[in-house]
Amino acid sequence: MNLAALFRHREPIGPLEYTRRTWMRLTLLATFVFLYAPIVTLVAFSFNDSRRNIVWRGFSLKYYEKALANDGLIEAFVNSLTIAFVQTIIATILGALTALLLWRFRFPFRGGYEGAMALPIVIPEICMGVAMLAFFSRVGWPTDLPWPLNLSAITIAHVSFSFPFVAVVVRARLEGFNREFSEAAQDLGASEWQVFRDVMVPFMRPGLVAGALLAFTLSLDDFVITFFTSGPDTVTFPVKVYSMVRFSVTPEVNAASTVLIALTVVLTVLALWLQSRAKLKPEEVAG
Amino acid sequence: MAHCKPFRPSRRSFLAGTGAVAAGLTFLPKAGFSAEEKVVNFYNWDTYIGETTLDDFKGASGIEVNMDLFADNAELFAKLKEGNPGYDVIVPSNDYVERMVAANMLMKLDHSKIPNIANIDLAFMNPNHDPGRVYSLPYMWGTIGIGYRKSRVDGVPDSWKWLYESDQYAGKIALLGTPSTVIQIACKYLGYPLNESDPAKLEKAADLIIKQKPSIKVFADDNGQDLLLSGEVDLTMEWNGDILQVMAEDDDISYVVPKEGGLLWEDTLAIPTGAPHPENAHAFMNYVLDAEAGAAIADFIQYATPNAAAKALMDKSYTENPAIFPPDETVKNSEVAIYQGPEYSQLIDRLWTKINAA
Amino acid sequence: MEDWRRTPLVFWVTSLPPTLWLVVFFLIPLALVWVMSFGELDGLIDIKITGTLANYARALDPLYLEVFGKSLVFAGFTTVISLLVGFPVALAIVFASPRWRPILLLLVILPFWTNLLIRTYALIAVLRVRGFANFSLEWLWDQGNTVLALMGLGSYQLLGDRFEPLELLYNNTAVVIGLVYVHMPFMILPLYAALERLDRSLIEAALDLGASQFRAFLTVVVPLALPGIISGGILVFIPALGSFLTPDLLGGTDSQMIANVIERQFKGANDWPFGAALSFLLMYLTFAALTVRALVNRRAERRGGA
């Protein structure tokens, strides 16, 4: 039995093919221009032969050489990706559990619990940064661990602010779940775990993917909270870049960002490809 | 919790501390020869060291410099406030040296381990912000003045009036985003001392800025020079070094310190309390103050060096550049910002909120 | 919803990990700051906890309330515009073919894997007087004039006698544009997650029964997307309310938001107790908004259920 098949859509037909409508395409185009114009500018200026991003002075790759030779920048790069990767996994699990909990159970002080879970979203970043700074320095969190354990403080802080975001997204997805399906599965003798694995997780998947993407983005982009939890050996890419661009955005920073974009694209496409391959199998069986 | 005591020495700094004491007892203070691991963690501003200085230092001493960057003094202070996360050498500006000394955040320097102090111009050896140079050594100094686009401005804008009380360049003016600096220079323009602390007078300075707001385009956070270069504004209040960098790219840009005088600043080298490698920190500071090394740094970053021996090695395009070394008259009219305690900071912040909300 | 006592084991397995994490790595650190908001500065770095309410009294000064109000307006505009722009995008992704869907999703999220600060500076490069937005407008202006000249209307200067670049930066509009730009995925992703389960047959049925596209959209799509709209709205409104980098970099001399004031307390002004009080006021305010939403929701549910 494959319940996921129940939720699969039929092939779209004429009146619903919004993506083929001109007004829709124009809106999409405009939005993507808005989203990408700055990115294109950024990439273009990474090839600029000038120290500043203001006047075009000819094509050059020298800033790529410079960025790739900048050990500090590379190290920050690796730190950022490591943190984002690890924290996304933890945050997605915790966020999904939170969403399931709030969706499924009635329990005392539920409203208060929900409120507390919203706190990390509500709190101004700088306030959370200061809270983390105070916390880690008071508990005497060790700062001299070997890599990657020295990133633990930052990773923990990132999980704390990103898992409630995941919870919100996954919960929006769960709102549409028909409880009868899980009940039916249980009536048919499925255990809690089987229901969770074979019914809930497949249904939550779009929410999990969206939530994980959000968590990854939040982590990769965070400056303020990271700034307050980082030390001399645990600089992340945003922290590094922040101090570099405060004075002037140099093409070196652009080049590094371009490399980061390229790298994340490759990794994500790879992940999508692997996922689509993994997904094919059960469907083949079902089909 | 009745009393929050923010700084707890971590295990690491404690061990390093005992190591330093042991080193001081057993070895003669000889650069690069100590019980410390061969690392020094340097917390600096961006593009504020020579291109090869760190590598050269490693070659000379075997000590690896691990440089991390901060964007402004307030950030540096906030980050070290709850305890030093492991930095050995930092670069605070003059008023923040006062703040950090008042907060016990800086270590006393051992001058005997920094023989190159002899290279420093004597005029810098006994400043108000650190009498006797107990906690800090001068690194670079400069002014805050007006950067402007020559072709769009009548003559030389040698008065703060053009920024604070004139609509001739309305919409083409940027001021700095540092609250204290903007208000202090308004005080200067009004004829008060730069460090005026009378609330009524500070209020007047704020009113002056509020009245001028329609003509001001933006309070720029350290990127006034980019706004000037991109033609977004024609006049900007800025640090001399920042304008100097864009002058190299665009002949139409120039810099002047107004006749009322500007703000003088000095960035220093200091060792924060709890530094894990104080021996190496001293060795590194000594190296930066070396004549050759100092000249290489000054040559690359183009700020005014207080290092007389280094300055002597530089050519005229540097030593006689008025945007780097302002005329004596300007220096005489200018003042240094003094740290005036928490109440002053609170007042300035309130005024700044008011200016922005008006 | 079921009572937790029915399956206590499942309840504990689901609730313990997130709860423990939240308490240890968030609520305890937060409590440190909360306590601070009842303290006074004692010298430069020490804070004496005296239980004073002076920080809150200061924060309720009309000057700061005005800044609070302005931040609410900024965040409100940002949310509405994000929704208007984000909805068609989410809809398009949902209706795209399965092969295109992950690609479109990736295209939406991709710009946000570039550092916020770099992206904001890139936005500045697009919007400034000598930026690409104005270059494009100038080009259009030139083309327009050429066309007019061809039509024999060249001498009337219908488009003005010279191109005046738009001042797109350093004002409140720029702040809203920047905030929309920064928070867009927070709207699109929840909308997508909610709409993905949209049952097309419902729309088809509505259309078959003679509803116009617009009516079908309003009566079928929007109600189904409501949970997504609400969670997207929350995820945009709240972070927008607390942003400080965008107003700092794109705003003019009157674009200050409350988070800018808070940030200064923790940095330059070095007044952590006051900063903590302002932060908590901001949080109480947001909570009030969330409670109102929950109440409205509950009433709507009750009405719907009746």
Give the DSSP letter string of B308-351. HHHHHTS-HHHHT-TTTS--HHHHHH-EE----HHHHHHHHHHH
pLDDT reading at B216 higher than 90: yes
Instruction: Give phi and psi for C20, each to the nearest 5.
Output: -60, -45
B223 contacts A248? CB cut-off 8 A? yes
pLDDT digits (tens, 9 = 90+) for C112-150: 777 788 888 889 888 888 788 888 888 888 888 888 888
Tell me the shortest Cα–Cα distance from C88 to chain A, in angstroms. 7
Residue B213 and residue B163 in contact, taking contact as beta carbons nearer than 8 Å: no
Residue extents of the structural domains in chain A: 4-8+67-286
Of A51, A52, A232, nearest to B68 by CB-CB distance is A232
Q: How far apart are CA B193 and CA B190, in angstroms?
A: 9
Considering only alpha carbons, which residue of chain C is nearest residue A28? C89
Tell me the nearest-neighbour CA distance from C287 into chain B, angstroms. Answer: 25
Provide the β-strand partners of residue B201: none
C-facing residues of B in 245-274 (CB < 8 A) are none
Query: Which among B213, B217, B352 has the least Cβ separation from residue C170?
Result: B217
pLDDT for res C304: 53
Torsion over CA: C35, C41, C45, C50 (sign): negative
In C, which residues are within 8 Å of A218 by CB distance?
Answer: none
Query: Rounded distance, CA C254 to CA C70, Å?
Result: 10
Question: Which of residues A88 and C93 earns the better pLDDT score?
Answer: A88
Cross-chain Cβ contact C271/B221 below 8 Å = no
Task: Please count the residues of chain A.
Answer: 287
Largest CA distance in chain C: 84
Question: Are the beta carbons of B244 and B324 closer than 8 angstroms?
Answer: yes
pLDDT of residue C195: 86
Predicted local confidence at residue A1, as pLDDT: 38
pTM of the model: 0.85
Q: Which two tokens stand for residue B93?
A: 């500006």
Q: Do A94 and C116 touch (CB under 8 A)?
A: no
In this structure, are residues B53 and B243 in contact, taking their beta carbons and an 8 Å threshold? Answer: no
pLDDT of residue A275: 65
Q: Which two tokens stand for residue B86?
A: 């492991």
CB atoms within 10 A of CB B285: 23
Interface residue B18 vs chain C (CB under 8 A): no
Are the beta carbons of C11 and A101 separated by less than 8 Å?
Answer: yes
Percent of chain B with pLDDT over 90: 71
DSSP, res A198: I
- Give the C-alpha separation, C40 to C47, whole Å: 6
For residue range C274-299, what is the model confidence (pLDDT) as tens digits?
999 999 998 888 888 777 777 777 77
Q: How confident is the model over B150-159, as a mean pLDDT?
A: 93
Name the residue with higher pLDDT: C294 or A101: A101
Nearest CA distance, B97 vs chain C (angstrom): 13
DSSP state of A12: P
Does C274 contact B at CB distance below 8 Å?
A: yes
* b/e map B15-40, b = 16+ CB within 10 Å: ebbebbeebbeeeeeebbebebeebb
State the pLDDT at residue C130: 79
C286–A contact, CB cutoff 8 A: yes
What is the percentage of chain A residues whose pLDDT exceeds 90? 18
pLDDT at residue A87 above 50?
yes
**Contacts for A196 with CB less than 8 Å, ≥ 6 apart:** none
A97, A129, A261 member nearest C17 (Cβ): A97
The answer for residues whose C-beta is within 8 angstroms of residue C64's C-beta and 6 or more apart is B353, C58, C258, C261, C278
CATH number for region A4-8+67-286: 1.10.3720.10
Residue C88 to residue A31, Cβ atoms within 8 A = yes
pLDDT of res. B9: 37
Task: Select the more confidently predicted residue: A124 or B282.
Answer: B282
pLDDT of residue A175 exceeding 90: no
Q: B136-149 and B253-256 as β-strands: parallel, antiparallel, unpaired? A: antiparallel
Angle between the N-to-C axes of helices A71-104 and A251-286, in degrees from 0 to 180, rounded to the nearest 10: 40
Overall average pLDDT of the B269-287 stretch = 96
- CB of C20 less than 8 A from some CB of B: no
Q: Is B8's CB within 8 Å of A233's CB?
A: no
Nearest CA distance, C42 vs chain A (angstrom): 17
Peptide bond into A282 cis (omega under 30): no
DSSP B91-141: --BHHHHHHHHHTT-BPPP-GGG-GGGGGB-GGGSS-TTSGGGSSEEEEEE
Q: Cβ(B257)–Cβ(B322) under 8 Å?
A: no
Report, as an integer, the average pLDDT of A134-139.
87
Closest CA to A192 of C185, B275, C9, B268: C9
Distance CA B227, CA B174 (A): 8
**Residue B7 with chain C: CB contacts under 8 Å:** 45
The residue-averaged pLDDT of A63-85 equals: 88
CB contact under 8 A, B75 and A227: yes
Measured between CB atoms, which of A32, A95, A238 is closest to C115? A238
Q: Report the C-alpha gap between C223 and A56 in whole angstroms.
A: 50
pLDDT at A7 over 60: no
Percent of chain A with pLDDT over 70: 85
Residue B138 pLDDT exceeds 70: yes
Is C120 in CB contact (< 8 Å) with chain B?
no
C289 interface with A at CB cutoff 8 Å:
no
Residues 13-52 of B with CB under 8 A from A: 41, 43, 45-47
pLDDT at B5: 36
pLDDT at residue number A280? 52
Length of chain C: 306
Residue C220, exposed/middle/buried by CB under 10 A (0-12, 13-18, 19+)? buried
| CA count, 13 A, side-chain hemisphere, B207 | 7
pLDDT-flagged residues of chain C (< 70): 154-155, 157-158, 300-306
What is the average pLDDT score of chain A? 81
Reported confidence tier of residue A86, pLDDT bands at 50, 70, 90: very high
The full set of domains in chain B, from first to last, is 11-140+265-319 (3.40.190.10), 142-264+325-357 (3.40.190.10)
Tens-digit pLDDT profile for residues A191-244: 888 888 888 899 888 889 888 988 988 898 888 899 888 888 888 888 888 777
What pLDDT is recorded for position B11?
A: 35
How far is C-alpha C9 from the chain's CA centre?
A: 38
- Whole-number pLDDT of residue C273: 93
**For residue A169, pLDDT beyond 60:** yes
Q: Cα(A41)–Cα(B292) distance, rounded to whole angstroms?
A: 41
- Mean pLDDT of the region B310-325: 92
Return mean pLDDT, chain B.
Answer: 88
The answer to whether the CB atoms of A227 and B68 lie below 8 A apart is no
How many Å apart are CA A53 and CA C149, to the nearest integer?
A: 36
Provide the shortest C-alpha distance from residue B269 to chain A (in Å): 17
3-state secondary structure C180-231: HHHHHHHHHHHHHHHHCCCCHHHHHHHHHCCCCHHHHHHHHHHHHHHHHHHH
Q: Which residues of chain A does C193 touch, with a Cβ-Cβ cutoff of 8 Å? A: 169-170, 172-173, 206-207, 210-211
Between B180 and A178, the higher pLDDT residue: B180
Mean pLDDT of B154-159: 92
Which homologous superfamily does the CATH classification assign to the domain defined by C62-128+168-305? Answer: MetI-like (1.10.3720.10)
Task: Look at B1 and C261 and tell me if their CB atoms are within 8 Å.
Answer: no
Q: CB distance B71–A51 less than 8 Å?
A: no
Q: Which ipTM score applies to this complex?
A: 0.85
A232: amino acid identity, one letter: P
Considering only CB atoms, A232 lies closest to which of B87, B229, B230, namely: B87
Residue A185 and residue A177: Cα distance in Å, rounded?
Answer: 14
Chains contacting B (3 or more CB pairs within 8 Å): A, C
Q: Which of A70-79, B1-10, B32-41, B322-331 has the lowest mean pLDDT?
A: B1-10
All residues of chain B having their beta carbon less than 8 Å from the beta carbon of residue A138 are 8
Using a CB–CB cut-off of 8 Å, the residues of A that contact B are 50-52, 54-55, 72, 130, 133-134, 137-138, 140, 142-144, 227-228, 230-233, 235, 240, 242-244, 246-249
Name the neighbours of A, counting chains with at least 3 Cβ pairs within 8 A. B, C
Interchain contact B195–A (C-beta under 8 A): no
Say whether C44 sits in a helix, a strand or coil. Answer: coil
* Domain limits, chain C: 62-128+168-305, 133-165
